Amino acid sequence: MSKDVVMSTTAVPFTSTILGSPRIGPNRELKRAVEKYWAGRIDRDELESVAAGLRRDTWASLVAAGLDSVPVNTFSYYDQMLDTAVLVGALPPRVADVPDDLDRYFAAARGNDDIAPLEMTKWFDTNYHYIVPEIGPEATFTLNPDKVLGELEEARAQGITARPVVVGPITFLTLSKAVDGADAPLARLDDLIDVYSELLGLLADRGIEWVQLDEPVLVTDIVDNAAELAERTYNRLGGLAKRPSVFVATYFGELSDALPALARTPVEAIGVDLVAGTGAALGAVPELADKLLVAGVVDGRNIWRTDLEAALGTLSALREAAAAIVVSTSCSTLHVPYALDAEDDLDPALRSWLAFGFEKVTEVVALARGLKDGRDAISAEIAASHAAIESRKSDPRLNNSRVRERISAIVASGAKRGSADHRRAAQQDRLKLPALPTTTIGSYPQTSAIRIARADLRSGKIAAAEYERRMKAEIAEVIKLQEQLGLDVLVHGEPERNDMVQYFAEQLDGFFATQNGWVQSYGSRCVRPPILYGDVTRPKPMTVEWIMYAQSLTDKPVKGMLTGPVTILAWSFVRDDQPLADTAAQVALAIRDETVDLQSAGIAIIQVDEPALRELLPLRSKDKAAYLNWAVDAFRLSTSGVEDSTQIHTHLCYSEFGEVIGAIADLDADVTSIEAARSHMEVLGDLNAVGFSNSVGPGVYDIHSPRVPGVEEIATSLREALDAVPAERLWVNPDCGLKTRTTDEVTESLKHLVAAAAEVRGR
């Protein structure tokens, strides 16, 4: 179909869609199939038939719900950035020799005995992780459209009006990584546009009317010339003689000056996120007058029911801004669970407040009908949404004045500890630790005995008392091991925790754990984030008994082990009816109460982990300082209830710490353990540069790898660290928790760690 024909059809554009959908399967069928394939238990045909079945069901349900344009190519065996790398022929040369294309794909994602995998990192500020494509100096791009054409073929056979979705060229290159001395990948934009041009031509040949190109990077400050890049790219793609109509989707924030730039190009549709952004500028862009505006009014990444009245108001107000309005989710619903009906244990009020992936589709469809036929056409839906919103607003569980008063009182009193010097002296008096104290980050290997005990408890095979007995046996093992190894500060090993956030969420009021609310975190890994719906309170101590038990077995100090407020928020679905800072303060108060109880139980050292501090960092520079302020305040609120002689530790990982390094210093923990093994201690210089002067434990070996580090290697790292930090302030520890390692690996590695510390102490 030629462009002219397509243009004439834009007079009857689509009216309702979503930007993408979950793909793991309503019961994690894809996860199971892919893992079986990796283990050699099913063959490729069987895997492909599971995948095709999931696609078919997804499309059928979207059509049945009433969407008039269905996104395809949003399915993935692992990740959409990796799919795009395959599409444009940008897999790294080191996988080229893997003969089978699917195995090559998985080798790039996960590595194999001979091939190191590509890196993985967070997709913007979500909990989804993508595979980072590598662009070397020799990289050439060639089109490999099999996946997208194959899915379109399937959709056609099913009679679906399909709209292929592809990561856009600006976003693809911006999120890729230059390797082997290549220039920044964006330098290759023009070459890559050639390949996209070829793709668009092929799609037009097949009669595809619309293609969606995702450019979320345009709402961030990762590139500083978003407007120029958008204009250059979409003038070229828009100017092609043979192509489908082009829909450029943006999400996770406000477009700012890339909006008028995109609007000046010949693309037919622009998508904006009206949940994360306000869309305030939309009325002032005259070039939108002949475009479709795809208005993301239904939140694609949180689980709350939409206020349909408000959303319809937003949509109606936009009518003048563009040629036509399409109702959509703000982003792909990849980030939310499939459907509410899988939850049979939900409090009815809470159920009425929620919308998962499927329910969001029905909201989009209702809004599209309301926009077309008027508010009265959906008055029943609006009434139901209104009732849910009123019930949520007035629910006493969201309005606990006592929590709010306690926070104000503590904040008013300063929430401060004594000076760092005073604390150091008081703690040394109490703990009498040697120079270069050795410790670990908290978890020990999750043995099969632990997993069996958890499964047995869940299935009712054993009672709580037996479970507790088995966990205590695990703790006793771990304490014995640490004493044998000669570590200075011990941990209980965290056997009772399935997950460092869920464990606390299950014990705090204000949280709800779903039964089947799985979302993809990366590849085949799925997580089930708790829902933080109400004011947070701690009905009773959460960790004290376990830690006291561990402490009763040893004369060495045992660290209390808690998860910090920012990390608890980052890995939960959070309420959207109050500022995140307020929610963080409530969680912080619960953690603070726990620290005070641990202290009363005689625990002298308490670690409050904040591995997700970097994760919630806003995408726009102007919003970063405010976030870091409340994040630091929440941490301090959670850790300032204890005496100066109680030592507060924190732990951070998963990051380039650059932008948060000042905040790390501001946390003012007495001891900070931090991932450093892979960055060769560089983080220490960065900490010095911001005036950090408390103690620090740079991770001296990488726990993400099964490799056991040698004594000399660790000693060398420690000596390197001593160039940046005096011995009185330096701790010795691995770079993260040990739960993914085997007991043998851990025993050997820690033996070497203790020996290296002894060697360097005596230097």
Residues known to be catalytic? 704
Q: What angle do CA 425, 428, 434 make, to 5 degrees?
A: 140
Whether 37 and 47 have beta carbons less than 8 Å apart is answered as yes
Site for Zn ion in 560-619 (CB under 5 A): 611
Q: Which is nearer to ligand GLN, 279 or 737 (CB)?
A: 737
Q: Which does 609 bind (CB under 5 to 8 A by kind): ligand GLN, Zn ion, none?
A: ligand GLN
Closest by alpha carbon to 167, among 79, 268, 91?
79
User: Phi and psi (nearest 5°) for 214?
Assistant: -90, 125
516 vs 563 by CB, closer to ligand GLN? 563
703 binds Zn ion (CB under 5 A): no
End-to-end, the C-alpha distance of the chain in Å comes to 77
Residue 528 marked as a ligand binder: no
Nearer to ligand GLN, 674 or 760 (CB): 674
Distance of CA 30 to the CA centre of its chain: 20
Rounded to 5 degrees, what angle do the CA atoms 469, 474, 477 make?
125
Annotated binding residue at 526? yes
Q: Output the smallest distance, CB 529 to ligand GLN, in A.
A: 15
Has 441 been labeled as part of a binding site?
A: yes
**666 marked as binding residue:** yes
Interacting partner of 739 out of Zn ion, ligand GLN, none (Cβ under 5 to 8 A depending on kind): ligand GLN
- Cβ neighbors of 354 (< 8 A, separation 6 or more) are 303, 304, 305, 340, 346, 531
Residue 617 contacts which entry, Zn ion, ligand GLN, none (Cβ below 5-8 A, type-dependent): none
Backbone dihedral region for residue 408 (phi beyond 0: left; psi -120 to 50: alpha; all else: beta): alpha
Least Cβ distance, residue 651 to Zn ion (angstroms):
6
Q: Are residues 267 and 237 in contact, defined by beta-carbon separation less than 8 angstroms?
A: yes
- Considering the complex, what minimum distance in angstroms separates the CB of residue 736 from Zn ion? 3
Provide, rounded to whole angstroms, the least separation between the CB of residue 273 and ligand GLN. 29
Question: What's the min distance (Å) between Cβ of 239 and Zn ion?
Answer: 48
Which one of ligand GLN, Zn ion, none interacts with residue 500, CB within 5 to 8 A by kind?
Answer: ligand GLN
**Cα–Cα distances in Å, from 475 out to 283, 545, 733, 736?**
62, 12, 19, 19
Considering the rule CB under 5 A, would residue 653 count as an interface residue with Zn ion? Answer: yes
Where does this chain touch Zn ion (CB under 5 A) — which range of 65-73, 372-380, 384-392, 650-658? 650-658
Query: Is residue 331 a known part of a binding site?
Result: no
| Minimum gap (Å) between residue 652 Cβ and Zn ion | 7
71 binds, among ligand GLN, Zn ion, none (CB under 5 to 8 A by kind): none
How many C-beta atoms lie closer than 10 Å to residue 271's C-beta?
29
List C-alpha distances in Å: 488 to 433, 539, 557, 703, 747. Answer: 7, 33, 8, 20, 15
**Which residue matches tokens 């054993």?**
462
| Residue 442 is assigned to a ligand binding site | yes
CA 462 to chain CA mean position, Å: 34
User: Is 630 annotated to bind ligand?
Assistant: no
- Phi, psi angles (nearest 5°) of residue 339: -160, 150
Instruction: Give SS3 for 341.
Output: helix
User: How many whole angstroms separate alpha carbon 738 and alpha carbon 752?
Assistant: 15
Q: How far is the CB of 640 from ligand GLN (least distance, A)?
A: 21
Which one-letter DSSP state was computed for residue 680? T
653 is in an annotated binding site: yes
The nearest distance, CB 440 to ligand GLN, in angstroms, is 7
- Whether the CB-CB separation of 628 and 662 falls below 8 Å is answered with yes
Q: Is 29 annotated as a binding residue?
A: yes
Q: Which is nearer to Zn ion, 608 or 653 (CB)?
A: 653
Asked whether position 736 contacts Zn ion by CB under 5 A, the answer is: yes
Residue 129 Cβ vs ligand GLN, minimum distance, rounded to whole Å: 14
Q: Give the shortest CB-658-to-Zn ion separation in angstroms.
A: 18
The smaller minimum CB distance to ligand GLN, of residues 209 and 675, is found at 675
Partner in contact with 442, chosen from ligand GLN, Zn ion, none, beta carbon below 5 to 8 Å by kind: ligand GLN
- If contact means CB under 5 to 8 A according to the sort of partner, which of ligand GLN, Zn ion, none does residue 169 touch? none
Angle at 469 between CA 463 and CA 472, to 5 degrees: 140
Q: 72 - beta bridge partners?
A: 164
Cβ distance to ligand GLN smaller for residue 362 or 447: 447
Choose the stretch contacting Zn ion; rule: CB under 5 A; options: 357-365, 487-495, 564-572, 653-661: 653-661
The response to whether 741 counts as a known ligand-binding position is no
Closest CA to 82 of 137, 119, 112: 119
What is the DSSP track for 170-217? HHHHHTSEE-TTPPPGGGGHHHHHHHHHHHHHHHHHTT--EEEEE-GG
DSSP per-residue string spanning 60-105 = HHHHHHT-SSEEES---SS-HHHHHHHHTT---GGGTT-SSHHHHH
Closest residue to ligand GLN using C-beta atoms: 737
Stretch that binds Zn ion, among 195-203, 361-369, 511-519, 731-739 (CB under 5 A): 731-739
Residues 6+ apart with CB under 8 A from 408: none
35's CB contacts (< 8 A; 6+ apart) are 524
670 binds, among ligand GLN, Zn ion, none (CB under 5 to 8 A by kind): none
- For residues 619 and 671, which CB has a smaller minimum distance to Zn ion in the complex? 671
CA distance 259 to 288: 9
**Long-range pairs for 654-659: beta carbons < 8 A, 24 or more residues apart:** 654/611, 654/612, 654/614, 654/615, 655/613, 655/614, 656/614, 657/614, 657/683, 657/686, 658/686, 659/614, 659/617, 659/624
Nearer to ligand GLN, 498 or 716 (CB): 498
How many Cβ atoms sit within 10 Å of the Cβ of residue 626? 12
List of residues contacting ligand GLN (CB under 6 A): 441-443, 494, 500, 561, 609, 611, 651, 653, 736-737, 739
Nearer to Zn ion (CB atom), residue 309 or residue 609: 609
Phi, psi (rounded to 5 degrees) for 19: -85, -10
Residue 90 or 612: which CB sits closer to ligand GLN? 612
For Zn ion, the binding residues (CB under 5 A) are: 611, 653, 736
Q: Residues marked as binding?
A: 28-31, 122, 127, 441-443, 494, 525-526, 571, 609, 615, 651, 653, 666, 675, 736
Q: Residues marked as binding for 5-methyltetrahydropteroyltri-L-glutamate?
A: 28-31, 122, 127, 525-526, 571, 615
Q: Residues marked as binding for L-homocysteine?
A: 441-443, 494, 609
Q: Residues marked as binding for Zn(2+)?
A: 651, 653, 666, 675, 736
